[in-house]
């Protein structure tokens, strides 16, 4: 067991875990945060996407020891006290959620895109989400939702 | 359960590697950690390179660019040096894996894994890149085609680390082209790819051609005959078709679950035809 | 009668799905998200060979692994050890024979995932390998190895044959005959949430299960039969599925979990198949070989059809006969063909299990007829759309399967609309804009898709709606929402009828302790059947509420002027208002609690030639209709296909929730695109080859086309709700429309799918038919 200290959704965490425990298992099995899903275990589907220091990465290919000193953000950590994150809100409003299993990963990839690119084109959105598989939506409404969230963000600024 | 060590400097890395000579070293983990799912090797420690900043520099020194092997593909794509001077590499990075994979996978990992389908490799061959290898008290350079010895095999000796990629800048006017054929537009292992670096004179005559194909042999394939067939000729469909025929003959692809050798052979030639101006 | 009994005016606003916010926040719990105290992990040791006699299983080494609690084999299975829906032919744990590589041989339960893995690795078995059969046509030969020695039909699970007019003999007099053999692949569902569940046997012996499943109530019956348990003492809860598409229609983990729970009473046992196991062990879309011969007059009027559809159903029934029967029904398309012989066969092999997958036999049949129609159009130099128009059934005419397609006017309207769309009108100039080394063309598919279970199995539901003390409502849904949003629609229907905001409804998800059996979440039937049931329940409850309000207001005419309002009943004229909470208090509990039964109508014509075919679903009564256009660009250098634009024009009856229909259509189109272009689950001599997401290729966001969906609003007369099931028809179109587009663009017939770049380049270079299955 190794002692690991990191920030999780803006809360300081100090815990003991096997150094080689996968982040996805740490979150789901140990911390009860089941918003991060597993669908392949090989980095090929994006369902386990989390943000580490703001960058989307597969939690199935991140080991506990790698978290030391990092800022980890999961889907549970992006809503505000008053409501959903604008990207979450846009997903809801634009019909981008069907079975919803890809949604946490998809949302986090989109959040990261909009943090870096203010007004992405539809093609840029498709590129940013290319690592997040969805089997239900055909991606169409997801793209629309992210574009709408970008517009909305622009307006609010 | 095993140890996972994250050295933050090369000195620390050397100490750990000496202490645990059978440790498995990884940077992004997109190859190793996936392999470990099926073959866990539970007794071997893991050393993760992602905190060694010394491996992450991108520098232009004169007419050379030095790329640290710890640079993630995303980091490279965001680098003006890479975008502006090495579009052939940027084009390959843009279609490698997915954004999530590119955020953690590194150019060093892609080179050392030495997959016949590694997407950074054809551009590096076309660019005549060299690699820098270090160990305590040692530093050496090898041309990329001397470093990669076979599928999954490199010239890295035990205790050594691949630390950098050195690329002599192509002339600003050179054509830099990369195309990859995969089963889909992202998250696709290359079925065949072509990296082409070409210099044309003002009349449109080919002065120099550097061509490198991926996924059509045990390692990247180059074809001096095809390059020679283009040199001194205008870059058009006719000259490219001749070069394409030579290229098709030079590659040694295999049948696998993604594609047949015959298809790959055909692609190797056809990808050259894409360079014909319209 | 108080209130009004006419069909309620449902607003056609695109509504927000009820489940969306919780899913977007990551707090909605799927079956995979349930853990428990004293959790044990269960896993399966699978056969790894396609056909063998099981001689012995050695579990001793597994039991010695620290942390392993149980290692179970067939000896530990009480009861018949057989599960299935139509035919109980699949063991829970193999007892006599291994019939496919994914067969479950032993079940291990352990304290941790690591111990489980070690325990599974320590299990060995003694097998006597048997010759296997991997091609369905070879499986039908007299000397083929038999999958089930006790099956009367040998390896032929089911055959259906329909003859119209002179049958195949009608081809003899046709001036033009085209023929082709179409090879369609095995497709994997690839839902993101793989098969999983949780089980706990409590002290009273009741087994509680939480499972990712489309069929919670039926599962209990299947498990009970297989393990000789009392179904009333199996309690199953079905949360939202993280995708299912038919792959969770029936038993996956349920019996194994129940077996583990019985052997570890008081412990919560969790089983979660990883991606590779899901691919190896789970059911797939049946690969199919289709033999088509189509004869016509020179002016394109169809005269005769001979079609034989062969479905590789793998080792177990798993509804394979029902799939083949639905394929049979659709094999001739919605066309007027005076002479037809349609044959459909479901054949046992030692390949991966063929089972339900969105479309359920119709994608194969639609491909057969639509690809052949375009072949004919080409032969006759006729515009493919015009060829369809000339032969489309008119109202009252019967299909080649002998069935009257009610509502066929909708298909005429869809074809009209598609022909007027800019995509079709502008196709010539769009084609000319192709860049060097690219070819463009448009492909057409004309589709229909039957809904429900056919004439014998009741397609029924009981919807329960309760007025709560606080004036809000509770809706009990026995039908799983696997992502299609039907749960939201049920709330929407009730909300509309009762004129309440959706937030005033509490939805109880399928739970065999709380909800009634309402059939499977499949067959495009859930909104239709359960929707009509909830419609009836809401109407009944509204009547009671209004009547009671009238009583309390002491009105002379207790109906006049009363209307439902959010949280209340109002009398507009007299400015009176009573809150629903007050009304609830004044009513008895029974009066506040309504259950409404609805059974879907069945075909009036008894056209099934035998009872078996009727049992397996032939014919149906309600149909969805659609026309699809695919705009495709082919790269001449690589053979890669870009699906640029896709148009669907559908008649699905009344459009209750346009956004929900768009969601379904978008998703179905991209799954169909995968079926057409890149999804091929390969087995070599029964061994699955591409068992993960790096080798089984599903479309990404960069592959998916722009999709436009047009829904022609009509009113289906078969039920008060006016809708037709629309969840599946979208997946029927892409393979034939893309195949037709590529055929036109390349001047070759593409016979083997998916259309990988390799196949396309070979066709471009060699011309003619690309037959090589590689």
When CB atoms are compared, the residue of B181, B263, B278 closest to C436 is B278
- C640–B263 CB contact, under 8 Å: no
Asked if residue C730 lies in contact with residue C665, where contact means CB atoms within 8 angstroms, the answer is: yes
Closest chain A residue to the Cα of C16, Cα to Cα: A93
The ranges of chain C with pLDDT < 70 are 1-14, 558-559, 768-774
Q: Do residues B198 and B260 both lie within one domain?
A: yes
Q: How many other C-beta atoms can be found within 10 angstroms of the C-beta atom of residue B130? A: 21
Q: Which of B260, B267, B278 lies at the smallest CB-CB distance from C638?
A: B267
Annotate C172-210 with b (16+ C-beta within 10 A) or e (fewer): eebeebbebebebbbbbbbbbbbbbbbbbbeeeeebbbb
**Helix, strand counts (H, E) of chain C:** 21, 28
Q: Are residues B13 and B85 in the same domain?
A: no
- Among candidate residues C483, C477, C485, the one with its CA nearest the CA of residue C461: C477
Please tell me chain B's helix, strand, coil percentages from 3-state DSSP, rounded to the nearest 5.
35, 25, 40
Rg (CA), chain C: 27
What distance in Å separates the CA atoms of residue C361 and residue C365, rounded to the nearest whole number? 6
Return mean pLDDT, chain A. 96
- Which of these, C465, C451, C484, lies nearest to C534 by C-alpha position? C465
C19, C28 Cβ separation under 8 angstroms: yes
* Smallest CA–CA distance from C699 into chain B, residue: B184
Tell me whether residue B75 is in a domain: yes
Looking at the structure, tell me whether residues B205 and B121 fall in a common domain. Answer: no
Domain annotation covers residue B22: yes
Residue B39 pLDDT level (bands cut at 50, 70, 90) = confident
Tokens in use for C163?
Answer: 């003859």
Please report residues of B whose CB lies closer than 8 A to that of C682: 257
Residue B196 lies in a domain: yes
- The pLDDT value recorded for residue C304 is 98
How many residues comprise chain C? 774
CB contact under 8 A, B184 and C435: no
Question: What six digits make up the tokens of A150?
Answer: 């970008």
Write out pLDDT tens, residues C90-135: 999 999 999 999 999 999 999 999 999 999 999 999 999 999 999 9
Domains of chain A in start order, with CATH, are 2-77 (3.10.20.30), 86-156 (1.10.150.120)
Same domain, B264 and B220: yes
Is residue C535 within 8 Å of C8, Cβ to Cβ?
A: yes
ipTM for this prediction: 0.98
Same domain, B214 and B107: no
Q: How far apart are CA C361 and CA C681, in angstroms?
A: 17
Q: Using one digit for the tens of pLDDT, what is the confidence trace for A26-82?
A: 999 999 999 999 999 999 999 999 999 999 999 999 999 999 999 999 999 999 888
CA distance C342 to B265: 43
Residue B211 lies in a domain: yes
CA distance C563 to C560: 9
DSSP state of C431: H
Q: What single-letter DSSP state applies at residue C17?
A: P
Residue of C29, C192, C663 with shortest CB distance to A39: C192
Alpha helical stretches, state H, B116-274? 121-126, 144-147, 224-230, 237-250, 261-273
Contact state of B184 with C678 under an 8 Å Cβ cutoff: yes
Chains that touch C (3 or more CB pairs under 8 A): A, B
Residue of B nearest to A110 (CA): B99
- Cβ contact, residue pair A98, C241, below 8 Å: no
On whether both B74 and B150 belong to a single domain, the answer is yes
Report the C-alpha gap between B110 and B276 in whole angstroms. Answer: 30
DSSP A63: B
Helix axes B261-273, B237-250, angle to 10 degrees: 150
Contact indicator for B120, B88 with CB cutoff of 8 Å: no
For A52, the enclosing helix (H) or strand (E) is strand A49-52
- C35-54 residues touching A, CB cutoff 8 A: 35
Query: How far, in Å, are A75, B185, C128 from residue A105 at the CA level?
Result: 8, 20, 46
Is residue B234 located within the same domain as residue B260?
Answer: yes
B154 and B124 housed in the same domain: yes
Whole-number Cα distances in Å, B90 to B68, B86, C5, C13 = 15, 6, 66, 46
Are A20 and B4 an interchain contact pair (Cβ–Cβ within 8 Å)? yes
Please report whether residue B278 resides in a domain: no
Per the CB < 8 A criterion, the answer to whether C360 and C323 are in contact is yes
pLDDT score for C4? 37
Domain limits for position B238 = 175-273
Shortest Cα distance from A14 to chain C (angstroms)?
23
B5, B53, B99, best to mutate vs chain A, most A CBs in 10 Å: B99
- pLDDT beyond 80 at B88: yes
Q: Does the beta carbon of C291 lie under 8 angstroms from any beta carbon of chain A? A: no
Interface list for C 591-630 with A (CB within 8 A): none
Instruction: Please name the member of B189, B260, B276 whose beta carbon is closest to the beta carbon of C694.
Output: B189
Based on the structure, what is the number of domains in chain B?
3
Domain endpoint, select from B168, B203, B238: B168
Name the β-bridge partners of B182.
none
Interval C524-573: pLDDT, tens: 899 999 999 999 999 999 999 999 999 888 877 766 789 999 999 999 88
Domains and CATH numbers, chain C: 20-28+460-599 (3.30.365.10), 34-130+195-272 (3.90.1170.50), 288-454+605-766 (3.30.365.10)
| B147 & B98 share domain | yes
> How would you classify the pairing of strands C288-296 and C196-201?
unpaired
The span from the CA of C405 to the CA of C391, in Å, is: 14
CA distance C521 to A148: 32
Cα–Cα distance, A23 to C653 (Å, whole number): 48
**What tens digit of pLDDT does each residue of B171-225 get?**
999 999 999 999 999 999 999 999 999 999 999 999 999 999 999 999 999 999 9
Which has the closest alpha carbon to C668: C243, C375, C341, C159?
A: C243
Together in a domain, B260 and B188:
yes
Of B140, B168, B196, the position where a domain reaches its end is B168
Do residues C393 and C334 make contact, with C-beta atoms less than 8 angstroms apart? yes
Of the candidates C348, C357, C363, which has an alpha carbon nearest to the alpha carbon of residue C686?
Answer: C348
- Residue C727, min C-alpha distance to chain A (Å): 11
With contacts defined as CB-CB under 8 Å, which chain B residues touch C758? Answer: 259-260, 263
| Residues B204 and B254 placed together within one structural domain of the fold | yes
Rounded CA-CA distance A11/C502 in Å is 35
Share of chain B above pLDDT 70, in %: 100
Q: Do B34 and A58 touch (CB under 8 A)?
A: no
Same domain, B11 and B26: yes
Q: DSSP readout, C379-411?
A: HTT--HHHHHHHHBPPTTPBPTTS-B-TTTHHH
Tell how many helices (H) and how many strands (E) occur in chain B. 12, 14
Q: Which residues of A touch C189 (CB under 8 A)?
A: 135
Chain A residues inside the 8 Å CB shell of B186: 127, 130-131
Q: Of the given ranges (B80-84, B241-245, C272-276, C489-493), which has the lowest mean pLDDT?
A: C489-493
C754: preceding bond cis by omega (within 30 degrees)? yes
DSSP code per residue over C719-750: STT-B---SSHHHHSHHHHHHHHHHHHHTS-B
């Amino acid at each position: 067991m190794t002692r690991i200290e990191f920030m999780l959704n803006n809360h300081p965490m100090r815990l003991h875990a096997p150094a080689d425990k996968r982040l996805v298992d740490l979150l789901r099995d140990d911390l009860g945060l089941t918003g991060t899903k597993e669908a392949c275990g090989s980095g090929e589907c994006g369902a386990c996407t989390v943000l580490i220091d703001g960058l989307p990465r597969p939690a199935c290919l991140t080991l506990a020891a790698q978290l030391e000193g990092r800022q980890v953000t999961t889907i549970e950590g992006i809503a505000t006290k008053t409501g959903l994150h604008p990207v979450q809100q846009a997903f809801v409003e634009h019909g981008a959620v069907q079975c919803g299993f890809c949604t946490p990963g998809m949302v986090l990839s989109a959040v990261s895109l909009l943090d870096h690119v203010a007004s992405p084109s539809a093609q840029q959105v498709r590129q940013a989400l290319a690592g997040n598989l969805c089997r239900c939506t055909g991606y169409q409404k997801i793209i629309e939702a992210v574009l709408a969230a970008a517009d909305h963000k622009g307006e609010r600024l | 359960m095993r140890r996972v060590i994250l050295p933050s400097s090369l000195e620390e890395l050397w100490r750990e590697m000496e202490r645990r000579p059978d440790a498995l070293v990884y940077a992004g983990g997109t190859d190793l950690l996936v392999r470990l799912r099926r073959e866990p090797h539970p007794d071997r420690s893991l050393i993760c390179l992602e905190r060694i900043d010394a491996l992450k520099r991108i520098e232009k020194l004169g007419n050379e660019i030095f790329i640290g092997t710890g640079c993630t593909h995303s980091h490279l794509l965001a680098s003006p040096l890479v975008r502006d001077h090495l579009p052939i590499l940027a084009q390959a990075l843009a279609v490698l894996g997915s954004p999530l994979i590119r955020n953690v996978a590194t150019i060093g990992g892609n080179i050392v894994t030495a997959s016949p389908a590694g997407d950074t490799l054809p551009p590096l061959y076309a660019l005549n890149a060299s690699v820098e290898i270090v160990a305590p008290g040692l530093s050496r350079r090898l041309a990329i085609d001397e470093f990669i010895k076979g599928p999954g095999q490199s010239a890295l000796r035990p205790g050594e680390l691949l630390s950098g990629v050195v690329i002599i800048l192509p002339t600003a006017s050179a054509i830099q082209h990369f195309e990859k054929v995969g089963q889909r537009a992202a998250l696709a292992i290359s079925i065949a790819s072509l990296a082409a670096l070409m210099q044309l004179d003002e009349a449109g005559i080919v002065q120099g051609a550097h061509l490198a194909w991926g996924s059509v042999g045990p390692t990247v394939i180059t074809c001096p005959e095809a390059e020679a067939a283009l040199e001194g000729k205008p870059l058009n469909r006719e000259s490219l078709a001749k070069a394409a025929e030579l290229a098709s003959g030079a590659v040694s692809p295999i049948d696998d679950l993604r594609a047949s050798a015959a298809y790959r052979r055909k692609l190797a030639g056809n990808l050259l035809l894409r360079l014909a101006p319209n | 009668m108080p209130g009004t009994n006419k069909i309620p005016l449902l607003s056609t606003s695109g509504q927000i799905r009820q489940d969306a916010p919780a899913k977007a926040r990551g707090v909605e719990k799927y079956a995979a998200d349930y853990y428990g105290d004293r959790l044990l992990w269960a896993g399966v040791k699978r056969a790894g060979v396609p056909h063998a006699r099981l001689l012995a299983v050695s579990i001793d080494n597994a039991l010695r692994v620290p942390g392993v609690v149980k290692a179970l084999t067939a000896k530990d299975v009480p009861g018949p050890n057989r599960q299935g829906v139509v035919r109980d032919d699949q063991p829970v744990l193999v007892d006599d024979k291994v019939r496919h590589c994914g067969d479950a041989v032993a079940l291990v339960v352990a304290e941790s995932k690591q111990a489980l893995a070690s325990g599974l690795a320590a299990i060995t078995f003694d097998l006597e390998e048997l010759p296997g059969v991997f091609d369905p046509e070879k499986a039908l030969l007299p000397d083929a190895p038999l999958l089930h020695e006790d099956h009367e039909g040998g390896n032929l699970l089911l055959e259906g044959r329909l003859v119209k007019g002179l049958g195949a003999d009608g081809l003899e007099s046709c001036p033009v005959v085209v023929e082709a053999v179409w090879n369609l692949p095995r497709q994997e569902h690839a839902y993101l949430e793989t098969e999983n569940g949780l089980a706990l046997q409590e002290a009273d012996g009741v087994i509680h299960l939480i499972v990712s499943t489309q069929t919670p109530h039926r599962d209990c019956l299947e498990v009970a039969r297989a393990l000789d348990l009392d179904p009333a003492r199996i309690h199953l809860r079905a949360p939202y599925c993280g995708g299912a598409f038919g792959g969770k229609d029936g038993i996956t983990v349920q019996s194994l979990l129940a077996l583990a729970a019985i052997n570890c009473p008081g412990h919560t046992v969790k089983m979660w198949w990883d991606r590779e196991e899901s691919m190896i062990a789970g059911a797939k879309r049946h690969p199919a070989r289709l033999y088509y011969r189509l004869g016509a007059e020179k002016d394109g009027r169809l005269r005769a059809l001979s079609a034989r559809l062969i479905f590789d159903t793998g080792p177990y029934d798993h509804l394979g006969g029902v799939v083949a029967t639905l394929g049979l029904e659709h094999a001739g398309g919605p066309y007027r063909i005076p002479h037809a012989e349609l044959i459909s066969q479901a054949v046992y092999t030692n390949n991966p299990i063929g089972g339900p997958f969105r479309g359920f036999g119709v994608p194969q049949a639609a491909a057969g007829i639509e690809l052949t129609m375009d072949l004919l159009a080409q032969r006759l130099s006729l515009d493919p759309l015009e060829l369809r128009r000339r032969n489309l059934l008119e109202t009252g005419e019967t299909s080649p399967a002998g069935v009257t397609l009610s509502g066929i006017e909708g298909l005429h309207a869809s074809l009209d609309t598609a022909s007027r769309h800019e995509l079709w009108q502008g196709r010539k100039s769009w084609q000319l804009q192709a860049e060097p080394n690219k070819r463009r063309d448009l492909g057409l598919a004309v589709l229909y898709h039957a809904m429900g279970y056919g004439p014998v199995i009741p397609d029924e539901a009981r919807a329960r709606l309760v007025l709560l003390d606080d004036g809000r409502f509770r809706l009990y849904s026995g039908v799983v929402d696997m992502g299609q949003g039907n749960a939201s629609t049920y709330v929407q229907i009730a909300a509309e009828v009762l004129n309440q905001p959706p937030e005033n409804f509490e939805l109880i998800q399928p739970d065999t302790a709380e909800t009634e059996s309402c059939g499977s979440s499949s067959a495009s039937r859930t909104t239709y059947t359960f929707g009509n049931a909830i419609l009836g329940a809401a109407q009944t409850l509204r009547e009671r509420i209004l009547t009671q309000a009238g009583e309390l207001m002491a009105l002379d005419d207790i109906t006049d002027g009363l209307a439902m309002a959010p949280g209340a009943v109002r009398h507009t004229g007299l400015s009176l208002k009573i809150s629903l909470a007050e009304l609830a208090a004044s009513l008895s509990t029974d009066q506040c609690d309504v259950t409404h039964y609805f059974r879907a109508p069945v075909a009036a014509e008894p056209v099934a030639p035998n009872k078996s075919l009727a049992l397996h679903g032939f014919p149906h009564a309600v149909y969805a209709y659609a026309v699809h256009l695919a705009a495709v660009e082919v790269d001449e250098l690589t053979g890669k296909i870009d699906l640029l634009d896709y148009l669907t024009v559908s008649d699905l009856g009344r459009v209750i929730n346009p956004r929900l229909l768009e969601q379904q259509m978008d998703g179905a189109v991209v799954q169909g695109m995968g079926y057409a272009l890149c999804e091929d689950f390969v087995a070599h001599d029964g061994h699955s080859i591409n068992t993960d997401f790096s080798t089984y290729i599903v479309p990404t966001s960069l592959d998916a086309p722009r999709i436009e969906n047009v829904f022609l609003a009509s009113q289906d007369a078969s039920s008060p709700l006016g809708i037709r099931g629309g969840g599946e028809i979208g997946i029927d179109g892409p393979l034939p429309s893309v195949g037709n587009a590529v055929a036109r663009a390349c001047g070759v017939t593409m016979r083997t799918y998916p259309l990988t770049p390799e196949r396309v380049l070979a066709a471009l270079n060699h011309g003619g038919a690309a037959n090589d299955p590689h």
